[in-house]
Amino acid sequence: MSQPADASSHIAFLDRYYGRQRRAYDLTRRLFLLGRERMLRNLAIQPGERVLELGCGTARNLLWLAKREAAATYHGVDASREMLTTAADRVRSSNVDVILSQHRAESLTSPGMLGVSQGFDAVFFSYSLSMMPDWRGALAAAMSCLRPSGRLAIVDFWDMAGWPKWIAEWTRRRLHAHHVHFDAGVHDWLRELQGPTRQLHIAPVARRWAYLATLQPATPPRSE
Ligand SMILES: C[S@@+](CC[C@H](N)C(=O)[O-])C[C@H]1O[C@@H](n2cnc3c(N)ncnc32)[C@H](O)[C@@H]1O
């Protein structure tokens, strides 16, 4: 598939970065990718639902969900072939069904690109949006893959306002060096989507180390 030049260099960076780390990734990240289980539990996946993670990495989150609700369908999208190789190994050895595909999240324009005609009931980003250079495009892609009654969830780094300044600054510098950026514009973008039919909730995780955002129908979904 041909990609714009900056897209190819983003993918090349991800493959270099994760090519070295993917085997130890889950072990080394559990200490600072906080709030992931909270987000996954809040999604409250029901039997028969279709679920999509954008930037699924090693598929750790999808496997967590699939072990708790096996009667849903799980899709994982990632831009890095290296990460997807580890994800595919994990899925194979876990004896659960997760469908994996390689795309840049921001290149998705419809659920049909993933072979799903009516859209997903839940779409989520877990510490991936802050790595996506075109986060607006990635959020728009997520919305285009959601059913009208679907819910969107994001857990990701926040401004660390509750932490001592030196820790927050040191961490931010480390994250920037690894191409990870929190842009406050993400929350403004999400607020624009609120309305009579959809409500947004943004909650801090660990003194604003991270945030957990959920956009969901304001009223119980009607049958479509
Ligand atoms: C920090 S890891 C998080 C992985 C997983 N979501 C988790 O919670 O463990 C970020 C993931 O986002 C993927 N990623 C970064 N930019 C992407 C993009 N533009 N489209 C799709 N995936 C992307 C990376 O390859 C990586 O697997």
Concatenate the DSSP letters of all residues of 96-155 into one string.
S-EEEEE--GGG---GGGGT-SS-EEEEEEES-GGG-TTHHHHHHHHHHHEEEEEEEEEE
Centroid of ligand 1 to alpha carbon of 71 (angstroms): 25
User: How many domains does the chain fold into?
Assistant: 1
Supply the range of the domain harboring residue 31.
5-217
CA 90 to CA 83: how far, in whole Å? 11
22 lines ligand 1 (CB under 6 A): no
> What is the three-class DSSP state of 7?
helix
pLDDT of residue 14: 86
Residue at 222 is within a domain: no
- pLDDT beyond 50 at 1: no
- pLDDT beyond 60 at 2: no
Residue at 223 is within a domain: no
Nearest to 90 by CA among 23, 1, 14, 169: 23
Residues 6+ apart with CB under 8 A from 166: none
pLDDT of residue 150: 96
pLDDT of residue 100: 98
CATH number (domain holding residue 114):
3.40.50.150
Q: 6 falls in which pLDDT band (50, 70, 90)?
A: confident
14 lines ligand 1 (CB under 6 A): yes
Query: What residues pair up with 100 in beta bridges, in sequence order?
Result: 76
Residue-wise pLDDT for 122-162, tens only, equals: 999 999 999 999 999 999 999 999 999 999 999 999 999 99
Residue at 224 is within a domain: no
Q: Please name the helix (run of DSSP H) or strand (run of DSSP E) that holds residue 50, with its range, or none.
A: strand 50-54
Ligand 1, pocket-test mutation among 78, 83, 125, most atoms within 8 A of CB: 78
130 lines ligand 1 (CB under 6 A): no
Residue-wise pLDDT for 11-57, tens only, equals: 988 888 787 776 776 766 777 799 999 999 999 999 999 999 999 99
Q: Which atom of ligand 1 is nearest to the CA of 36?
A: 8
Residue at 87 is within a domain: yes
Handedness of CA 63, 69, 70, 71 (dihedral sign): negative
Residue-wise pLDDT for 91-133, tens only, equals: 999 989 999 999 999 999 999 999 999 999 999 999 999 999 9
Contact by Cβ (8 Å): 36, 124: no
105 lines ligand 1 (CB under 6 A): yes
